[in-house]
Amino acid sequence: MLAYAIRRFGQSLLVLVLMSFLVFLGVFAIGDPVELLINPEADAVERARATAALGLDKPILQQYGTFLSNAASGDLGRSFVFNVPAINLILDKLPATIELALAAMVIAITLGIPLGLIAGLKPHSFVGRAIMAGSIVGFSLPTFWVGLVLIMLFSVQLGWLPSNGRGETVLLFGIPVSFLTWDGLVHLAMPALNLALFKLSLLIRLTRASTREAVLQDYVKFARAKGLGPGRVIGVHVLKNILIPIVTVIGLELGSVIAFAIVTESIFAWPGTGKLLIDSINLLDRPVVVAYLMVIVTLFIAINFVVDVAYSLLDPRVRLGSSANAH
């Protein structure tokens, strides 16, 4: 198990370095930030001085080498606009985005797996059909449209929930969180539900399909033939086996929720990294954009690493097969 974890960690580091190269090249090939940062009436000498001050006069591979060397010590560059470390700008906003993403995934998991189980065990019942119809609606509706409808219904018409902002926060281990206050919870409810809708539908359909496949397997039929109760058959023999693909998808989707919460954050004016990224792109603040993308890439890689380790714990054949392939 330890050898498998070490091997996966090494592979993760290699992927991280490769992605840093692609991100750096992609971002630094777009536009010239000097054109936006200095006075339009500045002469060629002033432009050259600003370019040199930002380090943009060096060859791109040399810039990447400097970036990689600094990144190894945790320095992802300084913002061209704010002249502060880019990672500090992101870390200031990241707790709000992570809190929103986790709240959305909690909603998706706590509703999606039970509803998917019901739909898989009773596929031809009214409840099963209604759940599947609801999941199709969740897949079909655009996130921004659902967000606007939620605001119109719960904020404008009913006046139950606030339409924007994060609400009151308190410190939890030094990190500001809003889910521990009532004001924060009511501000969190609509953005989290909006962000969770697609993932909820995905988990319902995945759990239903896995359940339908599992109940037809011989080990489930044998468990029933032994006289085990429905609760034990479902909880031990069905749920345990269908959790392997579900855990994998949950891990991957958590990363995508964090990375692509931009639309929801914009609609509900949620003060996360999404608004910071949009502002940085508009101003061609390259260090902030690169730092944001590297943080997201690192999150994806870390989540995949944890998922792979969890996957190998649920099914030991994974790490055994990996060892055989390595030899």
Q: Is residue 2 part of a domain?
A: no
Inside any domain, residue 225: yes
Give a yes or no: residue 8 inside a domain.
no
Residues in the chain: 327
d(CA 12, CA 303): 10
pLDDT at 249 (0 to 100): 80
Q: Are residues 121 and 267 in the same domain?
A: yes
How many distinct structural domains can be found in the chain? 2
CATH number for position 237? 1.10.3720.10
CA distance to 101, 122, 169, 189, 207, per residue, from 115 (Å): 21, 11, 32, 20, 8
Distance of alpha carbon 324 from alpha carbon 271, whole angstroms: 48
The residue with tokens 């000097």 is 34
Residue 223 in any domain: the answer is: yes
Rounded to whole angstroms, the Cα distance separating 183 from 162 reads: 9
Dihedrals phi, psi of 175, to nearest 5 degrees:
-110, 130
In a domain, 15, yes or no: no
| pLDDT score at 270 | 87
> What SS3 string covers 89-117?
HHHHHHHHHHHHHHHHHHHHHHHHHHHHH
Q: What is the pLDDT of residue 186?
A: 92
Residue-number span of the structural domain to which 305 is assigned? 86-319
Query: How far, in Å, CA of 196 to CA of 191, rounded?
Result: 8
Domain identity same for 26 and 161: no
Residue 7 exposure: Cα atoms within 13 Å on the Cβ side: 15
State the Cα–Cα distance between residues 106 and 277, nearest whole angstrom. 25
Are 34 and 181 contained in the same domain?
no
pLDDT at 61: 84
Same domain, 90 and 50: no
Find out whether 266 and 274 touch, Cβ atoms under 8 Å. yes
- Check if the beta carbon of residue 223 is closer than 8 Å to that of residue 188: no
DSSP readout, 148-187? HHHIIIIIIIS--S-SSS----EEETTEEESTTSHHHHHH
25 in any annotated domain = yes
On whether both 167 and 33 belong to a single domain, the answer is no
The pair of structure tokens assigned to 257 is 């929720």
CB-based contact 222:204 (threshold 8 Å): no
Residues 261 and 290 in one domain: yes
pLDDT lower than 70: segments of the chain: 31, 36, 314-327
- 91 and 129 part of one domain: yes
185 occurs within a structural domain: yes
Same domain, residue pair 119 and 252: yes
**Does 134 lie in the same domain as 42?**
no
Crossing angle (nearest 10°) for helices 126-140 and 86-121: 150
Tell whether 138 and 170 lie within a shared domain: yes
Position 131 in a domain: yes
Asked if residue 138 and residue 28 are part of one domain, the reply reads no
What interhelical angle do 239-259 and 286-314 show, nearest 10? 180
3-state SS class at 6: helix
How confident is the model at residue 315, as a pLDDT? 67
End-to-end CA distance of the chain: 16
Residues 30 and 102 placed together within one structural domain of the fold: no
Q: Of 73, 104, 138, which one is at a domain's C-terminal end?
A: 73
Q: Is 192 exposed, middle or buried (0-12, 13-18, 19+ CB in 10 A)?
A: buried
pLDDT of residue 60: 81
Residue at which a domain ends, from 6, 38, 73: 73
The predicted pLDDT at position 151 comes to 92
How many whole angstroms separate alpha carbon 259 and alpha carbon 274?
A: 8
